[in-house]
Structure 1
Amino acid sequence: MKLRALTKPWLGPILALNLLVIGGTIGYRLTEGWDLGDCLWMVLITITTIGFGEVEPLSAAGRVVTVLIITGGLIVVQLTIQRILRLADSGYFRQLKELRFRRVIRRMRDHVIVCGYGRIGQEIAEQLLLEGVPILVVEIDPSRKLAAEECGLNVLQADATLDETLLMAGLEKCKSLVATLPNNAANLYVILSAKGLRPECRLIARAESQEAAVKLKLAGASVVVSPYVAAGRTMAATALRPLAVDFMDLLAGSNCEIEEFRLSSNPELFKNLAHRSLSKLQLGRDSGAMVLAIRDGSNLITNPGSNVEISPGQLLVVLGSKSQLTRLRDLLGQTLETVEQMSS
């Protein structure tokens, strides 16, 4: 219905132009007796004022037809210009641009929705761009929308707390959603809406206080980050363990990534494995990736030894390049449930 409304304003000019072409062709055919190809060619060069010579010398009746075609062409052009001006005043071209943009959104897959383009949202978007991850920014403020578009980002100008906005942003097909709106209440609304629409979606939220962090967790946020707490921990780590922080910075600028491999909780899927220990499976040798840690329930095994066995429901934290991590996914096969990239 929307597309029909957008095409309707052009039906009049297109119909008038077609009638003019058909009428002029018939006129030349009756007055000059040319074949239809020559008649149509004469009409086209007359309407477009290209200035080519006549197909053949015109009779008096043919000149009358030519005058009528020129007059009709001027009228059609004038009406078309008036229609364009009226459409521009009514916001037609803005609606057309929005329609094209919504088509782009509908084609997006495995993208990250960033709700809010403040200072934190800008930093998140910049990091995601460096990783080559598709991003959609949801921002209601026009100035911030313009700033995001200047950085080459797709921006949906709408209220992120509304269910309609999240659905329009492609929540059902996104990889994750990040809520970085200016206040805790707005972020809470976003998480509640997103959790209700797609419970399995990975949701990351910004919190300004510990109380807000608890509420966001209860609302369904997968991860809650406090900028002040995170900054404080980073500064403390820099003071106490500068080499470790430098290593993480170097890792962020390399082609290596840290990913979480969630193993299936179904024991039946592990029956095809002849061995379960890391040494017998030889995941590192065959893939080139390194298993940094294994979380088994509440137990975290760091730098696991070769005798450690994998089992259903475990979470493997792995370091490697994209190609190495892809090979590891193939090796784990059906035992693998999900893969999530960690922030390095």
Structure 2
Amino acid sequence: MASLMKKTEQYQALPAKVSQQVLRGLDKNWQSFFAASSEFKSHPDKFLGKPKIPSYKEPNKGRNLLVYTIQALSKVGLRQGLVKLSGTSIALPTRVAERIAEVRIVPKCDCYVIEVIYEKTEQFLAPNEKIAALDLGIDNLMAVTSNQPDFIPLLINGRPLKSLNQFYNQRRAKLQSLLKGNRQSSQKIHRLTRCRNQKVDDYLHQASRYLVNLLVEQEITTLVIGKNDGSKQEVNLGKVNNQKLVTIPHRRLIEMISYQCQLAGIKVIIQEESYTSVANFLNDDPLPVYGETTEKPVFSGKRIKRGLYRTDRGFLCQSDVIGSYNILRKAFPNAFNRYGIEGCVVHLRRINLSK
């Protein structure tokens, strides 16, 4: 394709290496479409809808990701500690010039973001029996537990994110009500969205970094994260709670945690989490997979209100902590055989990150 396009004005408007990356991205999009279409024919239940063909960019306002490989960066600039993109006046100071792999210019709603991708050596941790588990939520962004008897369960506050999303949704609705004609958006809405996304990303980075630092400190080598495929599409908690859950980017948080754990030498397991919020961890209730049995499971405890779980013996426990322990037990049924489970959910810590 490059040989067919290299004489066109669009191809020549960029450095050759960058134009080649654009074409490779296009090829990847088509390959993904063909693969998804084939999978859709065999397993349509895995999709929310029929895969759509890659579409054209809008002629005047359409923007595309640009990738500058190391060959498209100024060698002189790198020796001077600068990331200078060929054919542009963009130059950024860097302290990792010798490890840079590529630079991306990513179009956002009202700006461009420059991402510098560099190589970093992964750490190695000798495998052990120390396991942690993570239950993602709204008011409590993360409930963290472990099979280690000296690990105090902790809840990382998610209310700042909920408050931020509430303000964003209200402000966006107000700005949309002021639009005239058939307009769907405006510069003010784009700016509001960008600011919201930046603040959300910052909070998720703080939360994921705090978690990974804690795991390294505790010498935990395996992390289990509870997640159900399609959970946000299928959730029905009422209009208000649906909006709160869907606007919390749990997938983005999982990505941040996963790559930071990889660098730290910690193995990450994504665990299906059906029934983990209603099973009694202290009684070792069964944890079936939703839809794989026709019998309705019976549990020895129940959630009596938001955030509170009562066991059959009358013990009151924090429900997200119970869910996190069950996620761990579902992935590793024998994880608590060595130390037992008595007293696991008696104490907990609440963590408030800086805003």
TM-score category by the smaller chain?
A: under 0.3
Structure number with greater Rg is 1
TM-score for both structures, normalised by structure 2: 0.21
Q: Which has the higher helix share?
A: 1
Which is bigger in relative contact order (C-alpha 8 A, separation at least 6)?
Answer: 2
